[in-house]
Each structure stands twice: as structure tokens, then as C-alpha cells.
Amino acid sequence: MSKRVLTTESGAPVADNQNSASAGVGGPLLLQDQHLLEKLARFNRERIPERVVHARGSGAYGHFEVTDDVTGFTHADFLNRIGKRTEVFLRFSTVADSLGGADAVRDPRGFAVKFYTEEGNYDLVGNNTPVFFIKDPIKFPDFIHSQKRDPFTGRQEPDNVWDFWAHSPEATHQVTWLMGDRGVPASYRHMNGYGSHTYQWTNAEGEAFFVKYHFKTNQGVRSLSSEQAAELAGKDPNSHQTDLLQAIERGVHPSWTLYVQLMPAAEAADYRFNPFDVTKVWSHRDHPLQRVGRLVLDRNPDNVFAEVEQAAFSPNNFVPGIGPSPDKMLQGRLFAYADAHRYRLGVNHTQLAVNAPRATTAQNYGRDGLMAANPQGRYAKNYEPNSYDGPVETGRPLSAPLAVTGHTGTHEAPPHTKDDDFVQAGELYRLMSEDERQRLVANIAGGLSQVSRDDVIEKNLAHFHAADPEYGKRVEEAVRALRED
């Protein structure tokens, strides 16, 4: 059987791939060696800018199958009948570290799902925690700067981390999650995923519901202690990537059951706290979990760079029946994510195989730009409306309109009767067992005790005291003991 011929990128056959062309046997190399220059030039350009956040990631393909009827709440086509399957791609990630970081670190995990639906791609971009550190996107660059490597020392600095949290009391709930037992998942398979934000569903009659997504792992939640994580990160920085890859390769397909919490839109204004505040969870007593379907991962990417590193998720990729809420952090992400991909991958990143629609075809008037790969033919027009049978608008909005009122300006979120930055952090603490509380306190004190400024320490301690007096007292005593050593 004859082997395929190696060619240059223009398709010309390569005569010698082992030796560069030179001026004589021992002479200098020749500029005319097109294969050598092309090969080195491509090698120099193999890497693209890594994501500022969520740089280190893993991913896999699979499917989502509807198991329960939710047509009374949304007319989204991929949820329109029990048994319907939709292809998906799921990317897991750590948030703060760079592409070269370790998997087993104390950090939130990204949980981003791309549904390749028949009405276009729907991107649900969440985390493995139901809440986040801040509630307004204008604070996001500052938050990330405080958690990333310091410009001078080149490493993550406790002074920066805890100083930002000291000035952001709304972070107390997420800090309690992060420093608790679920702060370091044992693997990507053994953690839950959440939409975190509040979204909107609209049914066929135009009724609107606000919705929160919960993907519950069917493998069971498993986590690592700080000591176990440090050991694993040192032994195998790729631990979570390896676990996911090998599990799927041997036929052990991880799965999650999707549940939602639903709130009729009319109830949002009078809910006891702001339901669009991503630093808070909705009570399950008020809005019980309702099962929707099952997500299964059963195929690994063939090329990690092409399909994981270049995967682009944008929270503004909605489909009919699903839309945004007034959640300020979500509103900011509707712009920021797509803009980040245009910078990293170019304006035509949606044409890459992992990002392109699969169950339908994208039809629009976008043209040209770097790496354009959508020739439309000589008769296709690049404007609309036109008289040439080009694609036209439907006139049907994807979701129900959001009511707005008042004057423009930089407003704080409207207060609800029980808005508070500390109540839910205290409730989470009181739900923990004594062993869990001990580990939580030790994890917080381990970082906070390294802060150099007493005033920053005191501000953070005040947050834990406000969440729960016992919580604050134990953290304070643990910090004092470590600083006295």
C-alpha cells in the first residue's frame, strides 16, 4: 500500500523533510528553501494568546437528552419533547491560573456547555459554584487583576487577593464556597455545574419565567483536601485532564442531570432579595428543583488545540425561548466574552468547526475579515434588505422583553427586603458539619494570615463575623495563631 505524499501547505510535494537546503555540503542555508521557511514560520505561530481567565481547560463532546416535559416554561426547540437529543461540547477550566498551571488547585471551575441545536448554537457558560464574587461587571477586571500574578513579584499575592475581598463584602458567600470542601474537585467528573446567573425562559404563549440551571453530577461529588491537592498538583499537573480523557476512552462516560429553578417573571420584583444578584442563591423551598434532562460526555476531541483551546463560548448565544435577565454580571458578559474571542481567534472564529452550528447553517451578511471561509458565490449580496432571495428576519423575538423604567445613570441594584451580603454565607457555614467547618477555617486562615496589612485582615474578619459570629471568631483565632507562630 503506497503512502500518502507529504506536501507543503500549497500542496507541492516535499522531496526531503530531514535536511535543509544549503550552499554546498557544509555551507550556510538558503533563503530559497521554501519548505524550511514555511515550516519554521508556522511553528512560530502555533500558539495564540491564551484566555485572560479560564485559560487552562479540558473538553469533550456528548449529547443532552430531554427526560421531562418543560414545554410549559420554554418553547426552545431542543427542549420540546421527551427523548429529544442534542449534540453538545462541554469545556471545563480553572479560572485564575495560566495555561501552564495545575488542575488540582483551589479555584472555581468553568462549566461551559455548547448545545448544537436546530435553531443555532446555545451557549450556557457557567461555573461549578452557584454564586460568584461580585455583582457588577465594572469590578470584574479589578477582581481578576487581584487574583492573578502581581506585576512586580510575578506570583499570586495574598495581599492583593484579600485586599480586594476586604473591599467587596458581597464576595463573602463565594469565598465560603471556595475555601470549603468543594473548593478543589477531585476531578471534572465529580463536580456539579451551574448556570450561576439568572436567565429567562419564554413559553409558546409568551409567558416569561426566570430560571437558574443546576447540573448535578451522577458520579457523586468528590473533592480533595488542601494537602491532597498540593500533592496531586505536584505529581501530575494534568490530573483532571488525564482523568477525563482516560475515563471516556475506556467507555466510562460521565453524566450530569440538569435541574432548573423557575420563578414566574411577575414574582421577581417582590422576592425577598434581588433574584438577579449572582452572589446569592434562590431558596429551594421557594423554588424547588425541577428535572429537565441528562447530559452525557462520550467522545474526546481529536485535537486539543483545535477543539478545546479554540472553543469559543458566548453567553449572548441564545436560541428562541431563552434569553437574558437583568443580572448585571450577565449583561456585562454578553459583550465581554464574544469580544474576547474576536481578539484571540479573529472575527471569523464562529466558522471554526468546534464553534460552527451543526444541526443548522449560519446564514447572514457577515463577510471578509481574517481567515474568512464563507464564500457566498457571485450572486450573493452582502446587504439587507435585498431583492436577491437573501436571508431575512423573522420578526419573532427570542425571548420576552424586559421591563425598564427610570433615569439613566450609575445605579446600585434596587434594594429588596432581605438583601444582605452576609446572610447566605452564614447559612452555608451552618449547613456544614464540624469537620467541614474546621477545614474551611483552616483554608481561610492559611491565606489570610499571610496578608501584611492588619487593616486588610480586620476588614475580612468583619465579613466572617457578620456572616456568623462563630464563623468569624474561629477564623480570627486561627489567623492569630498562625501569625504568632
Closest by Cα among 17, 14, 16, 61 to 248 = 61
- The cell numbers describing 151, all together, are 506585576
**CB neighbour list of residue 479: distance below 8 Å, 6 or more residues apart:** 445, 448, 449, 457, 461
- The single residue listed with the C-alpha cell 472555581 is 108
Cα→Cα distances 263→108, 158, 202, 234, 421, Å: 26, 39, 12, 45, 22
Rg of the chain (C-alpha set): 25
- Cα–Cα distances (Å) from 429 to 35, 61, 176, 190, 223, in that order, read 63, 36, 7, 22, 17
Distance (Å, rounded) from C-alpha 129 to C-alpha 28?
59
Report how far residue 319's alpha carbon sits from residue 398's, in angstroms, rounded to the nearest whole number: 6
Q: Which of 75, 121, 127, 443 is catalytic?
A: 127
> Residue 7: what residue type?
T
Nearest-angstrom CA–CA distance, 269 and 271: 6
Active site residue 54: yes
8 A C-beta contact, residue 285 and residue 333: no
CB atoms within 10 A of CB 153: 10
Catalytic residue among 35, 54, 197, 214: 54
Contacts of 411 (CB under 8 A, 6+ apart): none
DSSP 257-312: EEEEEEEEGGGGGGSSS-TT-TTS---TTTS--EEEEEEEEEE--S-HIIIIIT--
Is 411 marked active-site?
no
Amino acid identity of 441?
V
The Cα 78–Cα 326 span in angstroms is 24
Any idea which residues carry the catalytic annotation?
A: 54, 127
